[in-house]
Structure 1
Amino acid sequence: MRYLILFFAVLSLHAAGQQVILSGKITDSQGNPIAFASLYIQGTTIGTSANEYGQYQIRLKPGKYGIDFRSVGFKQQTEQVELVADSFAHNVELTYEDYQLKQTAGQGEEDPAFEIIRNVIKKRQYHLTEINQYACDVYIRGIQKLISAPKGRLIRGVAHELQLNLDNNSILYMSESESRFNFQQPNNFKEVMMSSKVTGNYNAFDFNRAAKLQLNFYRNMLDIEGLNPRGFVSPIADNAMKYYTYKLLGSTVESGQVIDKIQVIPLDDRDPIFKGNIYIMENDWRVYKAHLYVTNRSNLNFVDTLNINQQYIPVNDGKWQPASVSFTYSGNVLGFRYKGYILGNYSNYDLAPQFPPHYFNGETMLITQQTTKKDSVYWRKKRPVPLTPQEQQNYNLKDSILKKHETAAYLDSTERANNKFSPASYAFFGDTVKHRYKNEVLTLNPLYETIIYNTVEGWAVDLKPTYTKKFGFGRQYTISPEVRYGFENKIFSINTGFNYAYDPTNQGVFYGRVGTGIVDLNSEGSVGIFLNGLSSLFFKDNFLKLYRSKYLMAGMQREVARGLLLDGSMEYARRNALQNTSNRTVWKFPNKEYTSNNPLNSNLNAPLLFPESNALTFKISAIYTFDEEYTTRPEGRVYDQSKYPKIRLSYRKGIKNWLGSDVDYDYADIQVFHNHINLGMYGYSSFLITAGNFFNDKAVSYPDYKWFKGNQGITFTPGISQYHFLPYYTYSPASFFEAHYEHNFSGFLFNKIPGLRKLKLEEIVGGNYLTQKLNPAYTEFYIGVQRFFFRFDYGFVYRGAGHFDQGIKLYYGI
């Protein structure tokens, strides 16, 4: 009897754990597939979505179910099914939506849609915050296909290797991911990615994580990362009626609720705003579903048109959450036409999750080593949306190619080809030698940075190879020696740097450098060695001022608490001033002379800038990031852009008499900065404010002064602390205050000008300010235009009360 009871118990457990695969196809009345339709079990948030061809599948326990099938543009339809076997096929035909217009606006009267939208706006904040916390499962799939390519631009060998068939919409990129998304008001979230599978390279905006995929129309601005830097105004934003007009298209009843279909019409479609339809649930005044799109007239990046379909489902107690969202898009880059989609499916909502204490600790996403290790058997069992035949073929093909590429023979042949020395490439870009098996990389700086010229050394050779060895979990060390010889001053220098990332999770790094070197007097960096050589040889302008240092330095950094990064180092250096030894030029300048290597005295016979100086220096700094957020990956953390400014405190001490050190000073500064303040429709801003002082300056040598990022050439490198016209060697041992501000309108102005709209230019304005106790106030104002890595600025300079200078500055990505 005991064994009989045990037998039936085991049999019951087997039956309880058995699952039936319900599958089928969702079509319209003409038999056309309805892409990305959603289906949910009535009374639950268990559901899934159909694929691109309307095919769906869901795993359920045996039993009777009522299933709601929905898609934007169609009536909701409930199907009753009973599942008893291992699999059950059930096709569904949806009927097109039928919205009846009960009332129309008379001539001169306001459309009824406006009053509906006002009611929704009044409840916007309520719906935004009505759910205090929740957790849900999110499945995301992204596909990008190549439609056509210009003749001659797609190399036959590349097309064959990637198995691209332009007649069959070849898949360039495909990704899938499963996550558990956790949220808590006001804006805390953590996503745990359980599995991920990716093939190919992505060339559009990225939504491979649930936090980026969620489009919450109850927010005033919707940020679709990578698509438009200004974001998009929601049709139900507080100020939506400044950007939209509305038209009521009709009403219907679904599940006992009156649903209004409202057309969303831009007042100016050049602004980053939506077109399309939004569906509103009357009385509750919430979004029921939406079908919206944006076009390239809104100054989009990467794509020409983007369509968005989003649906909501009831969770419990009258609260609704997103059920599914799909993006379909198309684009054209240099004649390569592509299209794609991104599908997100939300299920298994829990509105009362038990988060442990301190669960929301700044970690917004967790990706473990096992996330990408799930095999095809796992995906066949867990994938909620079936693959299309082309998608399955793509996986099979790319998986076989990947296996081939991971063989020793292939990697050896690839490394031999990739590591082959190319003189032309080395001249402009340097050279890189990789050994994948050993996780080693050797890089050489390009030729134009190796053979150099300056008036201190004359022609010189500066070899700076870098060797990197990587280990597991993101740990790595880097060795960076430098060998330098000046042919006219006959000075040979050699030094070696070392960097060991021992704790990538907490930014833990040991670093150091020892040897002799030729060093820029401006520790912040002035003109590049290559550009200085060109300006010297062709224009007889030797901006760069150098000195020699024999030094030993060691330091470490680590994040000791959330948002608090400490960095400390100790350095001993023997510094010697240098003089010019060369006056070479390509062209003769009879009325122009080189300046000396002493920035205080331009006369060629000027004395040395400073006597030999020994310095033992201690440095420590602390950077604090408010509300720091990050993604944890197997190789370490990737930090998100903070909404708040950062604060940096720095202290530097010149220690006298130890090891013969002859410096004696105390310097400290405080800095507040932010690199990206999102201002929505108006672009983004960045700023930096610094105040500093030598509180003790008993013995300060020129290399120890506080320097600034000046610029005297026609080119510049954009950066929030970079001046446009400030002389490179402006300094003071006294107190100072500097402020920098820059705003990028991101096309807000140019997008309204027909001739400029297609260029997608970004308008920039900014200013820089510096005041020191011993120098008059210095002020710059500039305006500029930018596109990718090209930028053109025009600026004005004021020193004290009068105008000082003006001119053009260029940046071209080098």
Structure 2
Amino acid sequence: MQKVPFCTAILLFLLPCVVFAGELKGRITDAKGEPLPFATVYVKGSTIGTAANASAEYRLPLTPGKYKINCQYIGFQQVVFDVEIKGDEVVAHNFSLKEQALEIKNVVIKANAEDPAYAIIRKAIKKRKFYQKQVSEFQSSIYMKTVVRNRDMPEQIFGIKLVGNDEVLAESQGGGADSNNLGIMYLSEQEIDYYNDGKRARTIIRSVRESGDPNGLGLPEVPPVVSFYDNNVNPLWGITERGCISPISENALLYYKYKYEGEFIQDGYTINKIKVTPRRLYEPLFQGTIYIVDKEWAIHSLDMILTKTANLTMIDTLRIEQTYLPLKKDVWIIKNQVQYPTVKLFGFDIAINFIAVYDNQKVNEPIPDSLFQDKITSSYEADATDKDSSYWQNKRLLPLEDDEKRDYKKKDSTYAKYTSPEYRDSMRVRGNKFSPSKLIMGGYSYRSKGIKHTFSTNSALGGMVSYNTVEGLSVSPQVRWAGMLDTGKYMKSVVRARYGFGNTHFNTYGRLSYLNTNRAWRTRKWEIGVEGGKYLFQYNPRNTITPLYNTFTTIAYAHNYMKLYERWTAAAFFEQNFGNGFKWSLKAGYQRRMPVSNTSFFTIVNDERTRWTNNVPATLDKVVWEEHDAALVKVELSYQPGIKYIQYPKFKSPQYSKWPVFRAQYEKGVPGIANSKSDFDRWLFAISDYMDMKLLGGIEYNASIGGFLNKNYVSLPDMMHVADNQLVLASPYLRSFQLAPYYMYSNVADMYGELHLEYNLNGFLTNKLPVFRRARWNVVTGANTLYMDNGNYYAEAYVGIDNLGYKIFRFLRVDVVRSWDSFNNTGWGVRIGIDQGMIGLVSGVSVNEDNEKFEW
């Protein structure tokens, strides 16, 4: 290996500390003049370099001096160019690379003999841990460019004409599209310092520019360096649920086939080219080419691709290109990484480029511990968004392509238009337009000028119109209001009215609160408020059946599952979220509870009389239920340790934690206050978590234990009610019981416990079955158990198929459930699960925040 002259070495040492004065630039092509996008250009013997852009144009800032410049591209011969930079001159030089001539030496191919690639791969696998662990501390400067392009689109979607639509065209052209609505959808550039001490990582974003938004923040975290030295590779923020198996993982020979394609010499190293193909389709496996350094058995470079046959979840393909450089003996460091995800959906063809150029890398040099304090994984410099175009003209390592230049110019010029008060007000007026579909599906909303006030209603499918045997036909409109008092300070209210045509009762309920949010710390807030009125409530405060479901089962099957009571309420509450994983709430109130009876019995079935049930559940008919008053106090705490943060220029935002969520709750019925009869003490402790088992799938659990310390007077609404379900539509799997009859297992036990456990194989085992792997179905299994003192219990187990649907819209699952209990009751059933985020208004257990807050 050629030594670097002493003077050049000194110059390279000083290079990062001074301002670049000169520049080397040009274009990189093959022998036929075809561009070689993202080729690597670097100063020989150093970590200083750059990469070409998608048009194969490059620029390399340099201080005055003499240099040997290496240019290389995967599959092509390396070229070395001697250059001298004088002052601030710009030297133009185009590189022309020839395809790499491969030699096959000392290899005798015999029939049925093992391909020579396997011996090379075995040696690379043997040394995998060495390279995985050799870099205990790593730091680097990174230039990153993110480009999202729309390459094709349908003529119309969901009835909206896209091609030839002047309004759509005007807005898309303002966003950088061409006359065919194609072009750049998103463009950003970032300068980043990256630090990793082997256990902790920290990203510092020095500067960022986002096309069309001078305050744009780009990506807060760099796409991770995809380390193929890891057994399980998780590229691009986990686009596969199980991760992917590296071509040199410990068990790679069980998953891949290899073919030796030859070798070549570069800088004194012998580089082996090996073709990699999966042994089976529909497993998380790569295909492509990997180059292994002979004798050292390190990765020299690679070009790998994942397709739908690797069970990608959100994208169609992902291509990864990496280039490594020798820093010193046995130390190869990442120089360039380009990831190309593509998405094809409903006629759209979206291509994304994440280009990361690593510069000034340092290996195993001490990193100040202060960089990893405060649990911040990524942060922005205060002036990160203040750099102008002239700054970027001098700093960017990848020259802009023609369409990128146009995109910056067009979007920056139209920014003022799309952020002007006039334009925003026109969008507000458009959004305020009323339509019957809004009232039916999602509710109507109205925003005032300046967004100082917002009003919204519930929808017909969300419970505005329903039917139950207590009220008959019920109309229950709801109006929400939020008003901004000051920056981060709001007044909020919810008003509900309800009229039953069967019992002729008119009820109203309201809630008024003050919300104070911390603009410098997202999710850090507190809220104080009052609520009161008279309304109908379910005995089970978990609201295990929604008005829409109950309307259907009552009219279609004469199953009036929803059981209601009427109450007057006056209450006050306080809630606080510290933004660090800890939150708590306190609520105190006084209630008058009044039994109600069935008044209406409309159904379309003929044997309805054998199906109707009283409004008091038959399993609880011996529980004392009378009109009474109740004074109640409830406190709840929740904590998830280990929360990580991103520090943006103007605020901090919590992100994630690997720890479980711990929750504690205590509720007391206080006798003797006015006419309060309630006299009980109930407690609960719960823990929930998700455990990622990589290729084996994932396990999620929710466990709780609780009981009554005192139960002198426990009324129906104060009992421990489980989240039961008798509908074919599944209730949330980790919070409920799929076959438990309503109110069958409500209790006042001194001690009770719940465990909800689910194992999603995420393709493990089932990818061996042709039908499952082509359809991308996953097997899921689990169990739900309830224990009450005196040996009483209820349990159920289920197995099902998850990930049913089309393309990215996979929100369905089907389960077969078997149940049994200590009373010798057994049952089985089929449940159809719908993702709660997709179903929204008609979920099995209430996900409406206001509903939950109104309940106890």
Match in the other structure for 2:701:
687
Q: For 1:335 and 1:34, how far apart are their aligned partners in 2?
A: 29
Q: Secondary structure at the match of 2:423?
A: helix
Match in the other structure for 1:646:
661
Say if 1:469 and 1:400 are closer, same or farther in 2 by CA, change over 3 A.
farther
2:590 to 570, 573, 581: 573
User: How does the TM-score come out when normalised to structure 1?
Assistant: 0.89
Q: State the shift of 1:160 in Å.
A: 4.1
Match in the other structure for 1:9:
none
Q: State the shift of 1:293 in Å.
A: 1.1
The residue identity in structure 2 corresponding to 1:68 is: N
1:247 to 259, 274, 293: 259
2:172 to 150, 156, 162: 162
Q: Is the 8 A contact 2:65 2:85 kept in 1?
A: yes
Q: For 1:806 and 1:29, how far apart are their aligned partners in 2?
A: 70
User: Mean Cα displacement is larger for which, 107-116 or 82-91?
Assistant: 107-116
Q: Secondary structure at the match of 2:741?
A: coil
Q: For 1:39 and 1:361, how far apart are their aligned partners in 2?
A: 38
Match in the other structure for 1:545:
563
Q: State the shift of 1:136 in Å.
A: 1.7
2:585 aligned with 1:583: no
1:742 to 758, 761, 770: 758
Q: State the shift of 1:39 in Å.
A: 1.7
Q: For 2:386 and 2:326, how far apart are their aligned partners in 1?
A: 35
The one-character-per-residue Cα deviations of 1:273-294 (angstroms, maximum 9, x if unpaired) are 1111111223332212111112
Q: Is the 8 A contact 1:739 1:770 kept in 2?
A: yes
Q: Secondary structure at the match of 2:685?
A: strand
The residue identity in structure 1 corresponding to 2:736 is: Q
Structure 2: runs of 5+ lacking an equivalent: 1-16, 805-809, 840-856
2:508 aligned with 1:493: yes
Match in the other structure for 1:556:
575
Q: Is the 8 A contact 1:519 1:549 kept in 2?
A: no
2:323 aligned with 1:311: yes
Q: State the shift of 1:172 in Å.
A: 2.9
Match in the other structure for 2:734:
720
Alignment of 1:8-27 (within 5 A): 17=19, 19-27=21-29
Q: For 2:718 and 2:371, how far apart are their aligned partners in 1?
A: 44
Q: State the shift of 1:530 in Å.
A: 1.8
Q: State the shift of 1:82 in Å.
A: 1.5
Match in the other structure for 1:121:
125
Q: State the shift of 1:370 in Å.
A: 5.0
Q: Is the 8 A contact 1:245 1:267 kept in 2?
A: yes
Q: Is the 8 A contact 2:188 2:218 kept in 1?
A: no
2:629 to 613, 621, 626: 613
1:180 to 174, 193, 207: 193
2:418 aligned with 1:400: no
2:822 aligned with 1:804: no
Q: Is the 8 A contact 1:310 1:323 kept in 2?
A: yes
Say if 1:474 and 1:280 are closer, same or farther in 2 by CA, change over 3 A.
farther
Q: Is the 8 A contact 1:616 1:658 kept in 2?
A: no
Match in the other structure for 1:762:
778
Match in the other structure for 1:7:
none
Q: Is the 8 A contact 1:472 1:635 kept in 2?
A: no
Q: State the shift of 1:496 in Å.
A: 0.8
Match in the other structure for 1:670:
685
Q: State the shift of 1:533 in Å.
A: 2.0
Match in the other structure for 1:599:
617
Say if 1:185 and 1:652 are closer, same or farther in 2 by CA, change over 3 A.
farther
Q: Is the 8 A contact 1:144 1:171 kept in 2?
A: yes
2:542 aligned with 1:524: yes
Q: For 1:73 and 1:151, how far apart are their aligned partners in 2?
A: 40
Q: State the shift of 1:569 in Å.
A: 0.4
Q: Is the 8 A contact 2:623 2:716 kept in 1?
A: no
The residue identity in structure 1 corresponding to 2:820 is: Y
Alignment of 1:277-426 (within 5 A): 277-315=289-327, 318-351=330-363, 352-357=365-370, 359-367=372-380, 370-372=383-385, 374-426=387-439
Match in the other structure for 1:38:
40
Match in the other structure for 2:552:
534
Q: Is the 8 A contact 1:577 1:608 kept in 2?
A: no
Q: Is the 8 A contact 2:220 2:379 kept in 1?
A: no
2:450 aligned with 1:437: yes
The residue identity in structure 2 corresponding to 1:397 is: K
2:467 to 444, 447, 453: 453
Q: For 2:777 and 2:182, how far apart are their aligned partners in 1?
A: 32
Q: Is the 8 A contact 1:190 1:360 kept in 2?
A: no
Q: For 1:98 and 1:476, how far apart are their aligned partners in 2?
A: 69
Structure 1: runs of 5+ lacking an equivalent: 1-14
Say if 1:368 and 1:720 are closer, same or farther in 2 by CA, change over 3 A.
farther
Q: Secondary structure at the match of 1:219?
A: coil
Q: State the shift of 1:389 in Å.
A: 0.3
Count residues in correspondence: 789
Q: Secondary structure at the match of 1:583?
A: coil
Q: Is the 8 A contact 1:226 1:301 kept in 2?
A: no
Q: Is the 8 A contact 1:738 1:768 kept in 2?
A: yes
Q: For 1:549 and 1:371, how far apart are their aligned partners in 2?
A: 55
Q: For 1:602 and 1:303, how far apart are their aligned partners in 2?
A: 52
Q: For 2:359 and 2:279, how far apart are their aligned partners in 1?
A: 36
Q: State the shift of 1:439 in Å.
A: 5.6
Q: Is the 8 A contact 1:303 1:331 kept in 2?
A: yes
Q: Is the 8 A contact 2:761 2:780 kept in 1?
A: yes
The one-character-per-residue Cα deviations of 1:586-609 (angstroms, maximum 9, x if unpaired) are 425443353222124688xx9973
Q: State the shift of 1:622 in Å.
A: 3.5
Q: Secondary structure at the match of 1:162?
A: helix
2:148 aligned with 1:144: yes
Q: Secondary structure at the match of 1:789?
A: strand
Q: Is the 8 A contact 1:550 1:574 kept in 2?
A: yes
The residue identity in structure 1 corresponding to 2:418 is: H
Q: Secondary structure at the match of 2:699?
A: strand
Q: For 2:73 and 2:455, how far apart are their aligned partners in 1?
A: 54
Q: Secondary structure at the match of 2:578?
A: strand
Match in the other structure for 1:5:
none
Say if 1:540 and 1:364 are closer, same or farther in 2 by CA, change over 3 A.
same
Match in the other structure for 1:630:
645
| Backbone CA RMSD of aligned residues | 3.1
Alignment of 1:74-223 (within 5 A): 74-84=76-86, 85-102=88-105, 103-153=107-157, 154-155=161-162, 156-157=164-165, 158-163=168-173, 164-165=177-178, 170-186=183-199, 188-198=200-210, 208=219, 210-223=221-234
Q: Is the 8 A contact 2:495 2:508 kept in 1?
A: no
Q: For 1:471 and 1:353, how far apart are their aligned partners in 2?
A: 49
User: How does the TM-score come out when normalised to structure 2?
Assistant: 0.85
Say if 1:400 and 1:468 are closer, same or farther in 2 by CA, change over 3 A.
farther
Q: For 2:428 and 2:629, how far apart are their aligned partners in 1?
A: 48
Q: Is the 8 A contact 1:583 1:594 kept in 2?
A: no
Say if 1:607 and 1:119 are closer, same or farther in 2 by CA, change over 3 A.
closer
Q: State the shift of 1:55 in Å.
A: 0.5
Q: Is the 8 A contact 1:505 1:632 kept in 2?
A: no
Match in the other structure for 1:268:
280
Q: State the shift of 1:306 in Å.
A: 2.3
Q: Is the 8 A contact 1:579 1:596 kept in 2?
A: no
Match in the other structure for 2:796:
780
Match in the other structure for 2:843:
none
Match in the other structure for 2:854:
none
